[in-house]
Structure 1
Amino acid sequence: MIRSAEDRMTWVCTREPPAARLRLADSPSSRAMLDGGWWPTSRDPVVELCSLVTALTAQRGGVIERIMLQPAAWDSHPRRIGVDGAVVRVGWFTTLEAALVIVTGPRNLRIDLAVIAPETTYAVAAAAMLATSRPANTTRAADILSIPPSPSSRPLARHGDDVAAWETEGGHLQPDRQPTAPART
């Protein structure tokens, strides 16, 4: 197999990567499906993976050696990235869920994270990251975004929108009765 020069390149983030939006379980559990959630700010793997590796190294210690991702969810597919003088190998697997990233390192280090799409709203992403960081969570990464945001994170209906809000929140109008305006006194 002939490898291109691009396959052999080590990509380095040339600007300061954003702080990783990452939430990990306090203590890893052998029963948990996920170790936490990660909400990247873009689909640029060089910038986002540099940010993720930096955050994981700071929070969990140790060295990150490999990262496994699904290629359809990202704009480009570098095979190696340079982070703080170390090289991290990146594997792209079409069989992996798009909502999952697997990070490995020495001494059986393995961190499975749910990947929340960058365009996800804050309320949905916060609920998903909270769900993934619970000890002994049993939800798969692909099913995480089906968890609704908490009621306190929903926007309040504006005056006059209460009928529409009721319709979209599971209630319904009786078909034979239309809403009426309050009587004027």
Structure 2
Amino acid sequence: MIRSVEDRMTWVCTREPPTARLRLADSPSSREMLDGGWWPTSRDPVVELCSLVTALTAQRGGVIERIMLQPAAWDRHPCRIGVGGAVVRVGWFTTLGAGLVVVTGPRDLRIDLAVIAPETTYAVATAAMLAASRPATTTRAADVLFIPPSPRAGRLARHGDDVAVWETDGGHVQPDRQPAAPARA
């Protein structure tokens, strides 16, 4: 297989990455489905992954070696990123759900995070991150919040609409019209 120059280069964030919007379960467990939730600020993987790696290294300690993502949810697909002088390999897997990121490191370090779309409203994203970081959760990433593909990958669903989320979550909104008159017998 011939690899392009872009595949071989290490991407480095040239500006200060934003603080990661991340919520982790208090104690990681190999029996849980998710270890927390992550709400990136954009669909730029270099900036967002640098931010995520920095936050995970500070909170969990250890070295992050590899990150696995679904390509449809991101604008570009670097294979390696430089963070704090270290190189983190990035794998793009179409079989992985768009709402999941898997982070691995040495000595069986594995962190599974639900990914909340950047366009999601604050209230919905906060609720999703709380659900993903509940202790002893059996929730899967796909059940926390649907992550639409990147606008470059096709039409983006209006997932950030709180009313749409409420409607699909079992609730319903009363219409803004007057009730119909009772039928005459």
Paired residues for 1:1-185 under 5 Å? 1-145=1-145, 168=173, 175-176=180-181
User: Secondary structure of 2:145's match?
Assistant: helix
* 5+ residue gaps, structure 2: 147-161, 164-170
User: Secondary structure of 1:168's match?
Assistant: coil
The 3 A distance-change label for structure 1 pair 50 and 145 is same
Identity %: 82
Number of the residue aligned with 1:160: none
Shift of 1:32: 1.5
Shift of 1:29: 2.4
Contact kept, 8 Å, 2:40 with 2:117, in 1: the verdict is yes
- Residues in 1 aligned to 2:130 and 2:181: alpha-carbon distance in whole angstroms: 43
TM-score, structure 1 as length reference: 0.81
- Residues in 1 aligned to 2:172 and 2:80: alpha-carbon distance in whole angstroms: 50
Q: What's the CA shift string for 1:29-81, capped at 9, x where partnerless? A: 23321000000000000000000000000000000000000000000000000
User: Secondary structure of 1:37's match?
Assistant: strand
User: Secondary structure of 1:91's match?
Assistant: strand
Contact kept, 8 Å, 1:9 with 1:80, in 2: the verdict is yes
* 5+ residue gaps, structure 1: 147-153, 156-165, 178-185
TM-score, structure 2 as length reference: 0.81
Give the number of the structure whose alpha-carbon radius of gyration is greater: 1
- Residues in 2 aligned to 1:139 and 1:34: alpha-carbon distance in whole angstroms: 7
Please give the root-mean-square deviation of Cα atoms over the aligned residues, in Å.
2.2
- Residues in 1 aligned to 2:69 and 2:78: alpha-carbon distance in whole angstroms: 11
How many residues are aligned here?
159
- Residues in 1 aligned to 2:39 and 2:121: alpha-carbon distance in whole angstroms: 10
Shift of 1:28: 1.2
Query: Structure 1 residues 84-93 or 133-142, which shifts more?
Result: 133-142
Contact kept, 8 Å, 1:30 with 1:136, in 2: the verdict is no
